[in-house]
Amino acid sequence: MQPNVAKKTELEIIALTFAQTVNASIAHLFAITLIAVWFSYVAPVSELLIWAGAIAFLSIVRITTFFAFRKYGNDQNASLWLHGWAGLFFILGVIYVCGFMYFTPLNRPEYLVSIGMFVVAFSAASAIGHTASLYASLSFFIPITLPSVVFLFLYGGSAGSVAAFTIVIYSVTALFLLKKSNKAYKKSIFLNFEHTQEIEKRKQIEKQLHDISRKDSLTNLFNRRYFDETLAVEIGRAKRNKLPLCLIMFDLDCFKEYNDKYGHVSGDNCLIQIAEIAQSLVSRQGDMIARYGGEEFAIILPNIELDGAVLFANNLQERIKYKNIPHADTKVANIKHVTISLGVTNLTIGKGTTASELIQSADVALYEAKKRGRNRVHFDANDSSVEA
């Protein structure tokens, strides 16, 4: 048994037990009214009123506990609530039985037989109503049946013995059936939770697999495959809504020399740091950054004009500059830290209108930034380039 499914089953059974309380208590209010009327032919009304009043009061208390449980019950205190609930149910059974024994005239067979009928009816209702919990069923079943049987056998004469015998036969059969149906009921609740948990686990695994299929394992950025899909979608959206869209491709400068100087593991760490800085800037809804390949990254910026994207690129370059990751062997003039070159293009005034044309255009701009000495942003409007 997996513990949390077992615990959930236990809590569900307690909740189901409480759920029956309101209906059952209303039924008890009706029942005691009818029983009191029936006994009013042979017993003083004032005493009957006390008895019926006690049962009515307890029924109302039980209804209140149902609402209190809904408000204050939780996973930790649920079994305590169940014990309290069973205690009240037990007392209810005792009060019924005391009344039966006190008010029944021993010389009136119809009253003796009627006790048998009431006891069978009550215990049947408690068994059926609380199939999920043997404890709950028995907390009423036992106090109402056992004393009644003893009383009827001892003092009820032949009519009482018949009634007692009926209760015994009924009780043995009911308990046997109750045990079986309780087992099946609990099992079905358990299987239901187990099934739900299994579905949840599968959903989580599917989500993880889905995430893995979209992510780059080193930097945790989106991978090229997902980038390609997203770019096509964003271009379609931009065209439909006649909105601008920009693409930035950037690449670490002299990264081969970095790896040669500091080793591949440091190279990986450097890529991770650059990815984190870039990711921290990609904050608008719809913006997207991906590792395009090796030491090359791509950023999609929907709904932004070219000058905004150039500003973004400059900002990214500045942030990387301030990170000041040492790069002693870079070929960038007068610099001893890691730098990047960026190519910026856009959909509206760029040369291309398809994903591959846009990538090509950003790549050309990036190549131009490299050619012009690296550590700079190049964008194709007016063939301009900005050095950091």
Ligand X SMILES: Nc1nc2c(ncn2[C@@H]2O[C@H](COP(=O)(O)OP(=O)(O)OP(=O)(O)O)[C@@H](O)[C@H]2O)c(=O)[nH]1
- The footprint of ligand X (CB under 6 A) covers 218, 251-256, 259, 264, 267-268, 271, 294-295, 370, 374
The CB-of-267 to ligand X minimum distance in angstroms stands at 2
Specify the residue, 222 or 255, whose C-beta has the smaller distance to ligand X: 255
Number of helices (H), then strands (E), belonging to the chain: the values are 12, 6
Contacts by 184-190, CB closer than 8 A, 24 or more apart: 185/131, 185/132, 186/9, 186/13, 186/132, 189/9, 189/12, 189/13, 189/132, 190/1, 190/5, 190/6, 190/9
Taking the complex as a whole, the smallest distance from the CB of residue 270 to ligand X amounts, in Å, to 7
Tell me how far, at minimum, the Cβ of 19 lies from ligand X, in Å: 58
Q: Is 120 or 340 the residue whose CB approaches ligand X more closely?
A: 340
**Between 118 and 227, CB nearer to ligand X:** 227
Q: How far is the CB of 302 from ligand X (least distance, A)?
A: 27
* Min dist. Cβ of residue 325 to ligand X (A): 13
193 vs 292 by CB, closer to ligand X: 292
- CA 297, CA 286: separation in Å to the nearest integer? 17
If the CB atoms of residues 347 and 377 are measured against ligand X, the closer one turns out to be: 377
Nearer to ligand X, 253 or 380 (CB): 253
Phi, psi of 224 (to 5 degrees): -65, -40
- 298 contact partners, CB below 8 Å, separation of at least 6: 227, 247, 248, 249, 250, 289, 290, 292, 359, 362
Given a contact cutoff of 8 angstroms between Cβ atoms, the answer to whether 361 and 348 are in contact is no
Residue nearest to ligand X (CB): 267
The helix-helix angle for 3-19 and 78-103 (nearest 10°) equals: 40
Least separation in angstroms between CB 365 and ligand X: 14
Work out how close the CB of 253 gets to ligand X at its nearest, in angstroms, rounded to a whole number.
Answer: 4
Question: Closest CB to ligand X among 151 and 297?
Answer: 297
Tokens representing residue 204 in the block? 């989580």
Name which of 296, 17, 228, 33 is nearest 131 in CA terms: 17
Q: Is the Cα torsion angle 134, 135, 137, 143 positive or negative in sign?
A: positive
Question: Using CA atoms, how far apart are residues 305 and 247, in angstroms rounded to an integer?
Answer: 10
